[in-house]
């Protein structure tokens, strides 16, 4: 061994650390700074391509989708996923998807030493939860013809270029649309389309959509708050490969020893739920209109709920919805449950005996509480006459400034009083929020979330009345003393104006 | 002539100056982190085949020097070579030929003496596993530990531990054996045996470098000595040189006459004992005592006694290292 | 000529040149044949293995590690009815149905309650500091064992010890699972099943992965061991690093550095129990372990090869 100086020897570990650091930094920089060179596109060309891309059925694929929410207030309004693989953590959540066609899908939510799986094989849908070791089989209703896996008809009218033109004209007055630096997403070259609201009353600074250069499908959507360069919300592929996944992903045999439940989903149950539940302050994202309906559908720009819902987001929520249902139902807020029960009662045939009617309603209620699967009798009684829902949360305003508002609810008002005074009957004198005693809240996710929400909120008042305002990077929530909840990606002034307008 | 032999010749030529020395150093110094200069520019020259006593009081830097020689610590300055090989560059080639015991024995307490030696032998990349057993037993036998070879080290007495330490330096044929205070903790018999062992090793032709502060030990076995004092090498040379020339002492009733005869003989340093002593001393030089005696008698000096006293090594040692008891 | 005689009696230097001219002839001593470096390494390694596995303290450690699965097996067997799917360590909910999972539960518990890290810390923290404290380090270095060679052999033995510890825990758990629980086809996290044999193979793979994690931690221990002469200090240092890393891994505000923490991937073998098998966690883990091993191995090397040994 030749004699090396002490300094030379210490240069080795220093070099190793330096190389490690450089490799890590270079990988980070390279992935951030890598700019694929692609033929340049105008926003209009891009929109046309997207429309074309969405018109083409999405082929079989395997992908991982990651959602990151950094709203400055972790997952407050989201209900905890009971028995689910993940808790209500604010960290990135990702799911892996194996997709052959809309009828052959597997979605797995993987967490440390746990997994929730949804496997759809034709009409059979299995939900597997490793934590509880339960397998639930849903027999889905026979499919109404849905035009294969193509796009939902309404959103892309006419030719792609016409659709693009239409979209641009529609959003033009409210939104600045531009093309940004190209990026790699899930190792695929992508264009970036940026939508910037013109109104300064919107909390949204920009929405950036990465569009696959070859397949013209959205790969990632990022939402930036106004005046911030930190992503507040993003959803996108972290891995994406095309090609049919193995058939073993779709069929499922419950392992021996597991608890097996069997549920037959009536034809219109999902639509009942879909109408009754969304918008109930944050729950909406978890229960989309109808499972499986929106695969490949594109609704750009400020949608019905004031947020961009790209195909990817729809894909995930659409396919995950049935997985969430069984976990989610028992925790429905009582008033929502009553609404659903009322819908159910209305949907029953008119000629039933009173006792029969009461028994059916009771059975359905128990099912809703997650205690028992629906019996054949109940399912048989569920005709097609489920009427459209009423008294659901409304959307006030339009475009970027749209706000979701629940009607004033005595329950919410009582819960607010309870959370603030410890007594639902106490007067409405404006209390200091921080003197609120910790009170076990009434059941129901919205009501359960209220105390925490109120603790983080600041009391506000104005000509419109009194309430509590929760401010996050991207969403403001206003709870009024009358029990009305308003939420939107808008400045508080818009919420106040909406309350006033709603009351007036 | 093979290539390797040619290379060997070249190396010998280049290290010709060191050929006669098992250990050489120049300006070897060690300053510890605390700032203490433990070894201060020493130039060692240990002749090949010698038994070199490395003397010095406590804390004078003997162990520190030995650690530097063996490559355990880096010199702050200076260079050294062992067996003609520059250190630490050729350490891997030199050390297998050097047996050593540094600052007392140190072994695994839960292993037997034999297992401890086996462990050290296994660590030696150049040792032959096939002969390990035989070599280890031989080493144990040489230090008289064969009977206790399978006892656990922690059950050894102090002397047995010391012997096992010496045995490690005998595991293989060595050209140089460095022993740091090998008789520490030994009983008189043990001390004698170690002395005998050192003589035996030296008789085989191995250079022995033995550090000690026991003068008797060094006096009896060493051919050369180096004396350390506060980190400096204050003396280095053969034992005889250190002791210097013997003196001459003549006891006689006629000291004046005796002094005159001795002066005629050309002896130096003649001193007449004062008063009643009636002694005359001088340096013996190259003169033989019997010749002096004959001349004195012939000159009519009544010789009551004639001695050729030598100065004790202890006197020399104290003279070199100072009288003080306190460690520098 | 004496040179000729000496040639055979001397080790050959790397360049083939004869190092020294011997000035004396040893009567009839064994000739130093040109040693095969591989066999010399193996001999030293075997000696180190004997030392590590022969040390009473390490044997006691292994004994404790081997007993823990017995203890947990019995405890879970007695309390299994009260153990429900929600809480507890991962895979506990499947234990009642299949004893194979005892190994996973026990390995997870022993990684998180620091039992396995402790044994890795003890063996690695002691490696150099222990020799220095005993004084045997100077003996080894003057042999000369070679500082780099000594370090390599030490680390190799530590890796073997880690592997032995993890496999022992897995094997004892499998045996206890077999005795105390029902055993059969293994249900994966994805809800699909594999045969018992395949399940046991996966459990062993987890044990090997855990051993890799411990080997990586041991590299930190080895580095700590070269920085101090007190083995207890090195051991404590490793445990402090482990606990600090695990705490940081739990703090959401530090999520940016989570992936770079030494303990982050310790439990990331769960992908082995998915269908299709997800290797990404294992791959990331192994890369992380290797990087930590290289960094701290090089620190240990730089320190040991330049240190003054004055113990
Ligand atoms: N590791 C160290 N760090 C700092 N100083 C040291 C170290 N080792 C030795 N010294 C100092 O160096 C000096 C020489 O010590 P050394 O051990 O070489 O003496 P010695 O001649 O062997 O003494 P003794 O006869 O007592 O064994 C002493 O003053 C000692 O305090
Ligand atoms: Mg000493």
Q: What is the pLDDT of residues A30-43, one digit of tens each?
A: 877 788 888 988 88
Q: Judge if A195 and A339 occupy the same domain.
A: no
Please answer yes or no on whether A115 and C148 come within 8 Å at the CB atom.
Answer: no
Residues contacting residue A473 through CB under 8 Å, at least 6 positions apart: A70, A71, A72, A203, A225, A228, A230, A232
* Residue pLDDT, tens place only, C14-24: 333 333 334 33
Structure tokens at B17: 């100056």
The verdict on the CB of residue B321 being under 6 Å from ligand 1 is: no
Spatial separation of the C-alpha atoms in residues C141 and C154, rounded to whole Å: 13
pLDDT band (50, 70, 90) for residue B288:
confident
Instruction: Answer yes or no: is C7 within a domain.
Output: no
Same domain, A142 and A240: yes
Residue C51: the pLDDT is 95
- Could you please report the per-residue DSSP string of A203-251? SEEEEEEEEETTT--EEEEEEEETT--S-SEEEEEEEEEESPPPGGGT-
From residue B165, alpha-carbon distances to B113, B117, B136, B182 in Å are: 10, 9, 12, 8
What distance in Å separates the CA atoms of residue A288 and residue A317, rounded to the nearest whole number?
A: 7
Answer yes or no: is A327 within a domain: no
Q: Which residue has the tokens 């520190």?
A: B64
Same domain membership, residue A224 and residue A97? yes
Is B128 in contact with C56 (Cβ distance < 8 A)?
A: no
First to last CA, chain B: 56
Weakest mean pLDDT among A374-388, A398-412, C166-180:
A374-388
Query: What pLDDT is recorded for position C311?
Result: 77
DSSP state of A197: E
CB B35 less than 6 A from any atom of ligand 1: no
Take residue C175 and report the two structure tokens written for it: 């045996």
Give the mean model confidence (pLDDT) for residues C208-220: 96
The domain total for chain A is: 2
What pLDDT is stored for residue A223 in this prediction? 86
Does the beta-carbon distance from B125 to C139 stay under 8 Å?
Answer: no
User: Does A444 reside within a domain?
Assistant: yes
Work out the pLDDT band at A447, boundaries 50, 70, 90: low
Strands ordered across the beta sheet of A394-396: A394-396, A403-405, A485-488, A476-480, A465-471, A458-462
- Asked if residue A359 and residue A310 are part of one domain, the reply reads no
- CATH of residue A104: 2.50.20.10
Task: Point out the least confidently predicted range of A63-72, A486-495, B180-189, B291-300.
Answer: A63-72
Calculate the alpha carbon distances from B123 to A392, B98, B126, C140 in Å. 82, 15, 9, 7
Q: Compute the average pLDDT of residues A51-80.
A: 70
> Which residue from C176, C68, C164, C60 is spatially nearest to C113, judged by alpha carbons?
C68
**Distance of CA B188 to CAs B184, B191, C308, Å?**
11, 5, 35
Residues 6+ away with beta carbon under 8 Å from B188: none
Quick check: C12 pLDDT over 80? no
Inside any domain, residue A238: yes
Structure tokens, A352: 């039933």
Specify if C239 maps to a domain: yes
More confident residue, A250 or A424: A250
pLDDT at residue A302, rounded to an integer: 28
> Between A344 and B92, where is the model more confident?
B92
Q: Assign B187 a pLDDT band (cuts: 50, 70, 90).
A: confident
Flag whether A498 is in a domain: yes
- Residue-level pLDDT at A164: 63
C271-286 as b/e, with b when 16 or more CB fall inside 10 Å? bbbbbbebeebbeebb
Q: How many domains does chain C have?
A: 1
Does residue A1 lie within any of the structural domains? Answer: no
Residues of the domain holding A391 = 334-369+374-503
Contact A113, C101 (CB under 8 A): no
The predicted structure's pLDDT at residue A160:
59
pLDDT, tens digit, 9 for 90 and up, residues C29-56? 344 444 678 888 999 999 999 999 999 9
CA-based max dimension of chain A: 101
Q: Specify whether A148 is located in the same domain as A247.
A: yes
B319 Cβ contact partners less than 8 Å away, ≥ 6 residues apart: none
Tell me, what's the pLDDT at A81?
35
Residue A244 included in any domain: yes
Does any domain span residue C266? yes
| Mean pLDDT along residues A170-194 | 86
Whether residue B9 is predicted with pLDDT greater than 50 in this model: the reply is no
What is the tens place of the pLDDT at every residue in A101-129? 888 899 998 888 888 899 988 888 899 98
Question: A342 and chain C: CB distance < 8 Å anywhere?
Answer: no
- CB A336, CB A280: distance < 8 Å: yes
Task: Write out the two tokens for C177.
Answer: 């699972």
Question: Within a domain: residue A15?
Answer: no
C18 lies in some domain: no
| List of chain A residues whose C-beta atoms are within 8 Å of the C-beta of residue B73 | none
pLDDT computed for residue A144 by the predictor: 53
CA distance B151 to C66: 30
Q: Is B64 in the pocket of ligand 1 (CB under 6 A)?
A: yes
Which of B71, B106, B109 has the CB atom closest to C139's CB atom? B106
C232 is a domain residue: yes
Whole-prediction pTM: 0.77
Which pLDDT belongs to residue B18?
A: 44
In this predicted structure, the answer to whether residue B109 has a pLDDT above a threshold of 80 is yes
- Are A314 and A386 within one domain? no
> What whole-number percentage of chain B has pLDDT above 70?
88
Number of H helices, E strands in chain A: 11, 18
Give me the pLDDT at residue A459, please.
86
Is residue C16 assigned to a domain?
no
**Whether residue A200 is found in the same domain as residue A98:** yes
Within a domain: C13: no
Look up residue A299 and give its DSSP letter.
Answer: B
In order, the DSSP letters of C125-182 are HHHHHHHHHHTHHHHHHHTT--HHHHHHHHHHHHHHHHHHHHHHHHHHHHHHHHHHS-
Give the number of the atom of ligand 1 that is nearest the alpha carbon of residue B39: 14
Sign of CA dihedral A347, A349, A351, A352: negative
**Angle C196-227/C101-112 helices, nearest 10 degrees?**
20
Q: In this model, does residue A436 exceed pLDDT 70?
A: no
- Does a structural domain hold residue C76? yes
Average pLDDT taken over every residue of chain C: 85
B residues 174..233 contacting C (CB < 8 A): 175, 204-206
Q: Do A409 and A302 belong to one domain?
A: no
Whether residue B174 is predicted with pLDDT greater than 70 in this model: the reply is yes
| Domain membership flag for residue A345 | yes
* Whether residues A166 and A204 fall in one domain: yes
Between the CA of residue B232 and those of A27, B317, B324, what are the distances in Å? 58, 14, 17
Ligand 1 atom at minimum distance from B62 CA: 21
If one compares B18 and B151, the residue with the highest pLDDT of the two is B151
Residue A259 sits in the same domain as residue A343: no
Mutational test site, ligand 1, from B37, B39, B59, max ligand atoms within 8 Å of CB: B59
Rg (CA), chain A: 25
pLDDT of residue B140: 94
Number of other residues whose CB lies within 10 A of the CB of residue A227 = 9
Say what the pLDDT of residue B278 is.
81
Which pLDDT value is given to residue B27? 93
- pLDDT of res. A277: 31
Please give the pLDDT value at position B169: 92
pLDDT tens per residue across span A236-257: 889 999 999 998 999 899 988 8
Residues 6+ apart with CB under 8 A from C78: none
pLDDT class for A159, splitting at 50, 70, 90? low
With a 6 Å cutoff on the Cβ, whether B104 touches ligand 1 is no
Residue A479 has pLDDT above 80, yes or no: yes
* Domain housing C92: 25-305
Please indicate, yes or no, whether residues A392 and A484 belong to a single structural domain of this protein. Answer: yes
Q: HEC profile for B78-120?
A: EEEEECCEEECCCHHHHHHHEEEECCCCCCCCCCEHHHHHHHH
Using one digit for the tens of pLDDT, what is the confidence trace for C81-106?
654 545 567 777 778 778 899 999 99
The C-alpha atoms of residue A36 and residue A26 are separated, in whole angstroms, by 17
Q: pLDDT digit string (tens) for C104-118? A: 999 999 998 889 999
- A350 & A285 share domain: no
């Amino acid at each position: 061994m030749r004699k090396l100086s002490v300094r030379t020897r210490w240069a080795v570990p220093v070099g190793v650390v330096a190389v490690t650091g450089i490799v890590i930094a270079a990988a980070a920089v390279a992935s951030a700074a890598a700019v694929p060179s692609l033929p340049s596109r105008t926003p209009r060309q891009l929109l046309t391509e997207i429309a074309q891309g969405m018109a083409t059925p999405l082929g079989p694929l395997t992908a991982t989708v990651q959602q990151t929410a950094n709203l400055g207030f972790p997952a407050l309004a989201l209900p905890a996923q009971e028995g689910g693989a993940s808790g209500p953590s604010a960290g990135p959540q990702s799911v892996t998807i194996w997709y052959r066609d809309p009828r052959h899908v597997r979605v797995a939510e993987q967490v440390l030493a746990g997994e929730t799986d949804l496997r759809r094989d034709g009409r059979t849908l299995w939900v597997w939860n490793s934590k509880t070791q339960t397998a639930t089989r849903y027999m889905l209703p026979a499919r109404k013809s849905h035009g294969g896996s193509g796009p939902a008809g309404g959103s892309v009218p006419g030719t792609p270029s016409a659709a693009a033109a239409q979209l641009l004209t529609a959003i033009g007055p409210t939104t600045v649309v531009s093309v940004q630096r190209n990026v790699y997403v899930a190792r695929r070259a992508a264009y970036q389309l940026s939508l910037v609201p013109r109104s300064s009353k919107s909390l949204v600074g920009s929405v950036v959509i990465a569009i696959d250069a070859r397949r013209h499908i959205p790969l990632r959507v990022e939402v930036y708050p106004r005046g911030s360069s930190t992503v507040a919300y993003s959803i996108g592929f972290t891995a994406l490969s095309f090609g049919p996944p193995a058939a073993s992903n779709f069929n499922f045999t419950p392992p021996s020893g597991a608890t097996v439940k069997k549920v037959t989903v009536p034809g219109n149950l999902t639509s009942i739920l879909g109408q009754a539940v969304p918008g109930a302050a944050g729950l909406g994202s978890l229960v989309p209109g109808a499972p499986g309906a929106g695969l490949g559908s594109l609704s750009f720009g400020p949608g019905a709920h004031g947020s961009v819902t790209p195909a990817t987001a729809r894909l995930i929520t659409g396919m995950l919805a049935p997985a969430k249902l069984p976990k989610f139902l028992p925790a429905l807020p009582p008033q929502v449950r009553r609404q659903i029960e009322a819908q159910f009662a209305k949907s029953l045939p008119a000629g039933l005996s009173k006792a029969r009617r009461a028994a059916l309603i009771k059975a359905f209620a128990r099912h809703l509480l997650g205690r028992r699967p629906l019996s054949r009798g109940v399912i048989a009684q569920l005709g097609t006459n489920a009427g459209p829902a009423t008294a659901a949360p409304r959307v006030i305003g339009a475009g970027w400034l749209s706000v979701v508002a629940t009607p004033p609810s005595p329950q919410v008002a009582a819960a607010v009083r309870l959370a603030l005074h410890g007594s639902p009957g106490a007067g409405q004198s404006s209390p200091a929020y921080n003197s609120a005693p910790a009170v076990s809240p009434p059941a129901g996710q919205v009501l359960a979330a209220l105390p925490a929400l109120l603790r983080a909120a600041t009391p506000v008042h104005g000509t419109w009345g009194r309430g509590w305002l929760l401010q996050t990077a991207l969403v403001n929530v206003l709870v009024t003393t009358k029990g009305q909840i308003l939420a939107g990606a808008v400045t508080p002034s818009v919420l106040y104006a909406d309350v006033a307008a709603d009351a007036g | 002539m093979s290539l390797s032999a040619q290379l060997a010749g070249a190396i010998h030529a280049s290290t010709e100056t060191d050929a006669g020395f098992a250990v050489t150093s120049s300006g070897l110094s060690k300053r510890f982190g605390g700032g203490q200069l433990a070894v201060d520019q020493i130039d060692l020259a240990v002749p090949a085949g010698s038994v070199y006593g490395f003397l010095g009081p406590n804390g004078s830097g003997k162990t520190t020097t030995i650690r530097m020689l063996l490559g355990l610590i880096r010199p702050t300055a200076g260079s050294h070579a062992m067996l003609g090989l520059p250190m630490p560059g050729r350490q891997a080639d030199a050390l297998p030929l050097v047996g050593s015991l540094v600052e007392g024995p140190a072994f695994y307490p839960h292993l037997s003496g034999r297992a401890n030696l086996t462990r050290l032998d296994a660590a030696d990349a150049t040792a032959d596993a096939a002969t390990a057993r035989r070599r280890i037993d031989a080493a144990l036998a040489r230090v008289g530990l064969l009977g206790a070879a399978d006892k656990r080290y922690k059950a050894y007495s102090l002397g047995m531990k010391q012997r096992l330490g010496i045995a490690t330096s005998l595991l293989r044929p060595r050209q140089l054996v460095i022993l740091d205070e090998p008789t520490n903790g030994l009983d008189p018999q043990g001390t004698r045996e170690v002395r005998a062992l050192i003589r035996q090793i030296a008789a085989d032709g191995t250079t022995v470098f033995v550090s000690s502060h026991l003068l008797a030990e060094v006096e009896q076995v060493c051919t050369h000595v180096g004396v350390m004092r506060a980190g400096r090498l204050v003396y280095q040379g053969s034992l005889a040189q250190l002791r210097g020339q013997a003196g001459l002492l003549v006891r006689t009733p006629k000291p004046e006459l005796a002094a005159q005869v001795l002066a005629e003989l050309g002896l130096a340093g003649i001193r007449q004992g004062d008063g009643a002593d009636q002694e005359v001393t001088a340096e013996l030089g190259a003169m033989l005592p019997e010749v002096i005696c004959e001349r004195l008698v012939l000159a009519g000096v009544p010789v009551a006694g004639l001695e050729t006293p030598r100065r004790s090594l202890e006197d020399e040692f104290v003279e070199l290292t100072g009288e003080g008891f306190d460690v520098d | 000529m004496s040179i000729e005689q000496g040639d055979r009696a001397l080790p050959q230097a790397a360049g083939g040149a004869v190092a020294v001219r011997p000035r004396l002839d040893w009567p009839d001593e064994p000739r130093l044949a040109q040693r095969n470096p591989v066999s010399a390494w193996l001999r030293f390694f075997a000696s180190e293995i004997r030392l590590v596995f022969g040390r009473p303290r390490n044997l006691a450690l292994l004994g404790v590690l081997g007993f823990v699965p017995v203890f947990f097996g019995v405890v879970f067997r007695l309390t299994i009815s009260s153990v429900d799917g929600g809480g507890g360590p991962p895979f506990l909910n499947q234990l009642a149905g299949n004893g194979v999972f005892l190994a996973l539960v026990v390995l997870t518990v022993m990684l998180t309650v620091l039992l396995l890290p402790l044994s890795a810390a003890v063996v690695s923290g002691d490696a150099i500091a222990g020799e220095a404290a005993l004084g045997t380090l100077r003996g080894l270095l003057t042999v000369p064992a070679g500082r780099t060679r000594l370090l390599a052999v030490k680390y190799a033995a530590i890796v073997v010890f880690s592997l032995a510890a993890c496999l022992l825990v897995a094997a004892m758990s499998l045996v206890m699972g077999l005795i105390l629980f029902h055993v059969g086809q293994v249900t994966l996290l994805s809800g699909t099943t594999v045969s018992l044999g395949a399940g046991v193979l996966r459990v062993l793979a987890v044990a090997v992965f855990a051993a890799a994690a411990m080997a990586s931690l041991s590299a930190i221990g080895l580095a700590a061991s070269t920085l101090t002469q007190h083995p207890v200090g090195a051991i404590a240092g490793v445990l402090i690093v482990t606990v600090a890393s695990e705490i940081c891994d739990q703090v959401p505000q530090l999520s940016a550095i989570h992936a770079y923490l030494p303990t982050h991937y310790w439990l990331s073998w769960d992908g082995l129990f998915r269908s299709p098998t997800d290797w990404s966690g294992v791959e990331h883990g192994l890369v992380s372990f290797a990087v930590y091993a290289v960094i701290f191995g090089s620190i240990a090397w730089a320190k040991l090869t330049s240190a003054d040994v004055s113990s």
